[in-house]
Protein backbone atom coordinates (compact mmCIF):
# COMPACT_ATOMS: atom_id res chain seq x y z
CA UNK A 1 0.00 0.00 0.00
CA UNK A 2 2.83 2.40 0.81
CA UNK A 3 4.45 1.78 -2.58
CA UNK A 4 1.09 2.23 -4.33
CA UNK A 5 0.41 5.53 -2.54
CA UNK A 6 3.94 6.69 -3.36
CA UNK A 7 3.42 5.97 -7.05
CA UNK A 8 0.00 7.63 -7.09
CA UNK A 9 1.54 10.76 -5.64
CA UNK A 10 4.51 10.81 -7.99
CA UNK A 11 2.66 9.95 -11.21
CA UNK A 12 -0.60 11.84 -10.81
CA UNK A 13 -0.18 14.12 -7.79
CA UNK A 14 2.54 16.33 -9.26
CA UNK A 15 0.92 17.16 -12.60
CA UNK A 16 -1.98 19.57 -13.22
CA UNK A 17 -5.15 17.55 -13.69
CA UNK A 18 -3.85 14.54 -11.76
CA UNK A 19 -5.81 11.39 -12.53
CA UNK A 20 -7.72 13.21 -15.26
CA UNK A 21 -4.85 12.40 -17.63
CA UNK A 22 -5.46 8.68 -17.14
CA UNK A 23 -8.80 9.24 -18.89
CA UNK A 24 -7.76 11.90 -21.39
CA UNK A 25 -4.85 9.98 -22.96
CA UNK A 26 -6.86 6.93 -24.18
CA UNK A 27 -9.86 9.12 -24.95
CA UNK A 28 -7.71 11.34 -27.16
CA UNK A 29 -6.40 8.31 -29.06
CA UNK A 30 -9.91 6.96 -29.60
CA UNK A 31 -11.20 10.33 -30.85
CA UNK A 32 -8.28 10.74 -33.27
CA UNK A 33 -8.88 7.27 -34.73
CA UNK A 34 -12.62 7.90 -34.94
CA UNK A 35 -12.30 11.24 -36.73
CA UNK A 36 -9.54 10.05 -39.06
CA UNK A 37 -11.16 6.82 -40.24
CA UNK A 38 -14.68 8.27 -40.41
CA UNK A 39 -13.39 10.67 -43.08
CA UNK A 40 -12.24 7.84 -45.37
CA UNK A 41 -14.75 5.08 -44.51
CA UNK A 42 -18.53 5.01 -44.46
CA UNK A 43 -18.83 2.45 -41.72
CA UNK A 44 -16.39 0.69 -39.38
CA UNK A 45 -15.58 -3.02 -39.91
CA UNK A 46 -18.17 -3.87 -37.23
CA UNK A 47 -21.44 -2.10 -36.46
CA UNK A 48 -22.13 1.53 -37.26
CA UNK A 49 -20.23 3.39 -34.52
CA UNK A 50 -16.61 4.26 -35.20
CA UNK A 51 -16.30 5.39 -31.59
CA UNK A 52 -17.32 2.01 -30.16
CA UNK A 53 -15.24 -0.02 -32.61
CA UNK A 54 -12.00 1.81 -31.87
CA UNK A 55 -12.70 2.04 -28.14
CA UNK A 56 -13.03 -1.76 -27.87
CA UNK A 57 -9.66 -2.10 -29.59
CA UNK A 58 -7.77 0.81 -28.10
CA UNK A 59 -8.62 0.30 -24.42
CA UNK A 60 -7.28 -3.30 -24.04
CA UNK A 61 -4.15 -2.25 -25.91
CA UNK A 62 -3.69 0.76 -23.62
CA UNK A 63 -4.16 -1.43 -20.53
CA UNK A 64 -1.53 -3.89 -21.75
CA UNK A 65 0.99 -1.16 -22.57
CA UNK A 66 0.47 0.55 -19.22
CA UNK A 67 0.98 -2.71 -17.29
CA UNK A 68 3.97 -4.00 -19.23
CA UNK A 69 5.82 -0.67 -19.35
CA UNK A 70 5.24 0.29 -15.72
CA UNK A 71 6.09 -3.16 -14.35
CA UNK A 72 9.24 -3.14 -16.48
CA UNK A 73 10.31 0.07 -14.69
CA UNK A 74 9.60 -1.28 -11.17
CA UNK A 75 13.24 -1.53 -10.09
CA UNK A 76 14.13 1.91 -11.43
CA UNK A 77 11.19 3.52 -9.65
CA UNK A 78 11.72 1.82 -6.28
CA UNK A 79 15.50 1.25 -6.35
CA UNK A 80 16.24 3.29 -3.22
CA UNK A 81 13.51 1.55 -1.21
CA UNK A 82 14.56 -1.91 -2.37
CA UNK A 83 17.83 -1.45 -0.51
CA UNK A 84 15.86 -1.93 2.74
CA UNK A 85 15.35 -5.57 3.78
CA UNK A 86 11.67 -4.94 4.56
CA UNK A 87 10.93 -4.06 0.92
CA UNK A 88 11.32 -6.85 -1.64
CA UNK A 89 11.17 -6.88 -5.41
CA UNK A 90 7.85 -8.73 -5.13
CA UNK A 91 6.41 -5.70 -3.31
CA UNK A 92 7.57 -3.35 -6.05
CA UNK A 93 6.18 -5.49 -8.87
CA UNK A 94 2.85 -6.23 -7.18
CA UNK A 95 2.31 -2.59 -6.20
CA UNK A 96 2.70 -1.46 -9.81
CA UNK A 97 0.60 -4.34 -11.13
CA UNK A 98 -2.30 -3.76 -8.73
CA UNK A 99 -2.32 0.02 -9.07
CA UNK A 100 -2.10 0.07 -12.86
CA UNK A 101 -4.67 -2.72 -13.21
CA UNK A 102 -7.19 -0.91 -11.02
CA UNK A 103 -6.54 2.39 -12.77
CA UNK A 104 -6.83 0.78 -16.22
CA UNK A 105 -10.06 -1.03 -15.34
CA UNK A 106 -11.70 2.11 -13.95
CA UNK A 107 -10.70 4.06 -17.06
CA UNK A 108 -11.91 1.25 -19.34
CA UNK A 109 -15.29 0.92 -17.63
CA UNK A 110 -15.95 4.68 -17.54
CA UNK A 111 -14.95 5.25 -21.18
CA UNK A 112 -16.83 2.23 -22.54
CA UNK A 113 -19.98 3.22 -20.67
CA UNK A 114 -19.61 6.76 -21.98
CA UNK A 115 -19.03 5.56 -25.55
CA UNK A 116 -22.10 3.30 -25.47
CA UNK A 117 -24.25 6.18 -24.17
CA UNK A 118 -22.87 8.80 -26.56
CA UNK A 119 -22.89 6.62 -29.67
CA UNK A 120 -26.55 5.70 -29.02
CA UNK A 121 -25.86 2.20 -30.30
CA UNK A 122 -27.87 -0.80 -29.21
CA UNK A 123 -25.46 -3.39 -27.89
CA UNK A 124 -25.97 -6.80 -26.33
CA UNK A 125 -23.22 -7.08 -23.77
CA UNK A 126 -21.44 -10.37 -23.12
CA UNK A 127 -19.74 -9.85 -19.77
CA UNK A 128 -18.01 -13.24 -19.82
CA UNK A 129 -16.21 -12.29 -23.04
CA UNK A 130 -15.22 -8.93 -21.55
CA UNK A 131 -13.89 -10.59 -18.40
CA UNK A 132 -11.91 -13.08 -20.49
CA UNK A 133 -10.41 -10.25 -22.53
CA UNK A 134 -9.43 -8.34 -19.39
CA UNK A 135 -7.69 -11.22 -17.61
CA UNK A 136 -5.82 -12.18 -20.78
CA UNK A 137 -4.63 -8.58 -21.15
CA UNK A 138 -3.58 -8.33 -17.50
CA UNK A 139 -1.74 -11.66 -17.59
CA UNK A 140 0.16 -10.65 -20.73
CA UNK A 141 1.05 -7.28 -19.23
CA UNK A 142 2.28 -8.90 -16.01
CA UNK A 143 4.30 -11.65 -17.72
CA UNK A 144 5.96 -9.40 -20.29
CA UNK A 145 6.53 -6.68 -17.69
CA UNK A 146 8.26 -8.97 -15.19
CA UNK A 147 10.48 -10.54 -17.85
CA UNK A 148 11.41 -7.12 -19.23
CA UNK A 149 12.18 -5.96 -15.69
CA UNK A 150 15.07 -8.43 -15.72
CA UNK A 151 16.30 -7.42 -19.16
CA UNK A 152 16.12 -3.72 -18.31
CA UNK A 153 18.07 -4.30 -15.10
CA UNK A 154 20.81 -6.15 -16.96
CA UNK A 155 20.81 -4.00 -20.11
CA UNK A 156 19.79 -0.36 -19.48
CA UNK A 157 19.28 0.25 -23.21
CA UNK A 158 16.57 -2.41 -23.31
CA UNK A 159 13.77 0.15 -22.81
CA UNK A 160 14.61 1.85 -26.12
CA UNK A 161 15.11 -1.48 -27.90
CA UNK A 162 11.79 -2.85 -26.64
CA UNK A 163 9.99 0.34 -27.66
CA UNK A 164 11.23 -0.10 -31.23
CA UNK A 165 10.43 -3.82 -31.32
CA UNK A 166 6.86 -3.41 -30.08
CA UNK A 167 5.92 -0.33 -32.09
CA UNK A 168 4.34 -2.43 -34.90
CA UNK A 169 1.96 -3.96 -32.33
CA UNK A 170 -0.19 -0.85 -32.59
CA UNK A 171 -0.94 -1.84 -36.18
CA UNK A 172 -0.74 -5.64 -36.00
CA UNK A 173 -3.00 -6.18 -32.98
CA UNK A 174 -6.26 -5.50 -34.80
CA UNK A 175 -7.10 -2.08 -33.38
CA UNK A 176 -7.91 -0.58 -36.80
CA UNK A 177 -9.34 -3.65 -38.53
CA UNK A 178 -10.52 -7.23 -38.09
CA UNK A 179 -7.84 -9.86 -38.56
CA UNK A 180 -10.54 -12.24 -39.77
CA UNK A 181 -10.81 -10.26 -43.01
CA UNK A 182 -7.29 -11.15 -44.17
CA UNK A 183 -6.29 -14.25 -46.19
CA UNK A 184 -5.87 -17.41 -44.12
CA UNK A 185 -2.07 -17.53 -44.39
CA UNK A 186 -1.81 -13.91 -43.22
CA UNK A 187 -4.26 -14.59 -40.40
CA UNK A 188 -2.13 -17.44 -39.07
CA UNK A 189 0.84 -15.11 -38.74
CA UNK A 190 -1.15 -12.29 -37.16
CA UNK A 191 -2.80 -14.58 -34.60
CA UNK A 192 0.67 -15.46 -33.32
CA UNK A 193 0.58 -12.02 -31.70
CA UNK A 194 -0.96 -12.82 -28.28
CA UNK A 195 -2.27 -9.28 -27.89
CA UNK A 196 -4.59 -9.73 -30.89
CA UNK A 197 -6.64 -12.31 -28.96
CA UNK A 198 -7.91 -10.18 -26.03
CA UNK A 199 -8.74 -7.33 -28.44
CA UNK A 200 -10.85 -9.66 -30.61
CA UNK A 201 -12.44 -11.17 -27.49
CA UNK A 202 -13.31 -7.71 -26.16
CA UNK A 203 -15.09 -6.89 -29.42
CA UNK A 204 -17.09 -10.11 -29.24
CA UNK A 205 -18.41 -8.86 -25.91
CA UNK A 206 -20.03 -5.85 -27.62
CA UNK A 207 -20.91 -7.23 -31.05
CA UNK A 208 -23.10 -10.37 -30.84
CA UNK A 209 -22.78 -10.84 -34.63
CA UNK A 210 -18.99 -11.11 -34.33
CA UNK A 211 -17.71 -14.52 -33.33
CA UNK A 212 -14.05 -14.46 -32.39
CA UNK A 213 -13.52 -18.08 -33.42
CA UNK A 214 -9.74 -17.72 -33.72
CA UNK A 215 -9.24 -16.48 -30.17
CA UNK A 216 -7.13 -19.05 -28.33
CA UNK A 217 -7.41 -18.56 -24.57
CA UNK A 218 -5.01 -21.43 -23.84
CA UNK A 219 -2.32 -19.94 -26.11
CA UNK A 220 -2.55 -16.53 -24.47
CA UNK A 221 -2.65 -18.05 -20.98
CA UNK A 222 0.43 -20.19 -21.61
CA UNK A 223 2.28 -17.26 -23.20
CA UNK A 224 1.60 -15.08 -20.16
CA UNK A 225 2.38 -17.78 -17.62
CA UNK A 226 5.63 -18.85 -19.31
CA UNK A 227 6.94 -15.29 -19.56
CA UNK A 228 5.90 -14.67 -15.95
CA UNK A 229 7.63 -17.87 -14.79
CA UNK A 230 10.84 -17.00 -16.62
CA UNK A 231 10.78 -13.47 -15.25
CA UNK A 232 10.24 -14.63 -11.66
CA UNK A 233 13.00 -17.27 -11.88
CA UNK A 234 15.46 -14.72 -13.26
CA UNK A 235 14.52 -12.09 -10.68
CA UNK A 236 14.98 -14.57 -7.83
CA UNK A 237 18.45 -15.33 -9.16
CA UNK A 238 19.61 -11.87 -10.27
CA UNK A 239 17.62 -9.21 -8.37
CA UNK A 240 20.56 -8.42 -6.08
CA UNK A 241 22.92 -8.09 -9.02
CA UNK A 242 20.46 -5.76 -10.73
CA UNK A 243 20.13 -3.56 -7.64
CA UNK A 244 23.88 -3.39 -7.10
CA UNK A 245 24.64 -2.69 -10.76
What pLDDT sits at residue 109?
92
Backbone φ and ψ for 227, nearest 5 degrees, come out as -65, -35
* Count of domains forming the chain: 1
Give me the phi and psi of 87, to 5 degrees please.
-110, 120
Q: What is the pLDDT of residue 16?
A: 67
The pLDDT value recorded for residue 143 is 96
How would you label 147-160 residue by residue, b for 16+ Cβ within 10 Å and e otherwise? bbbbbbbeeeebee
Query: What is residue 231's predicted lDDT score, i.e. its pLDDT?
Result: 95
d(CA 28, CA 37): 14
What's the confidence (pLDDT) of residue 227? Answer: 96
Predicted pLDDT at 8: 81
Boundaries of domain holding 124: 2-244
Gap between the Cα atoms of 98 and 74, Å rounded: 12
Other Cβ atoms less than 10 A from the Cβ of 215: the count is 22
Kindly give the parts of the chain with pLDDT less than 70: 13-17
DSSP state letters, 114-168? HHHHHHT------HHHHHHHHHHHHHHHHHHHHHHHHHHHH-TTHHHHHHHHHTT
43 contact partners, CB below 8 Å, separation of at least 6: none
pTM value? 0.90
Amino acid sequence: MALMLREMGSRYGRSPGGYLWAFLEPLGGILILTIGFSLVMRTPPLGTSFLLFYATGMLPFTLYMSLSNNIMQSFRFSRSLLMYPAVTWVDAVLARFILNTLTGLIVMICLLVGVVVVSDTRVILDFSAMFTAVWMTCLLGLGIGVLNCVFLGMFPVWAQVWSIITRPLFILSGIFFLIDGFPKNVQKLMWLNPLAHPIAEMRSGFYPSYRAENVDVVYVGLFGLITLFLGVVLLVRYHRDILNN
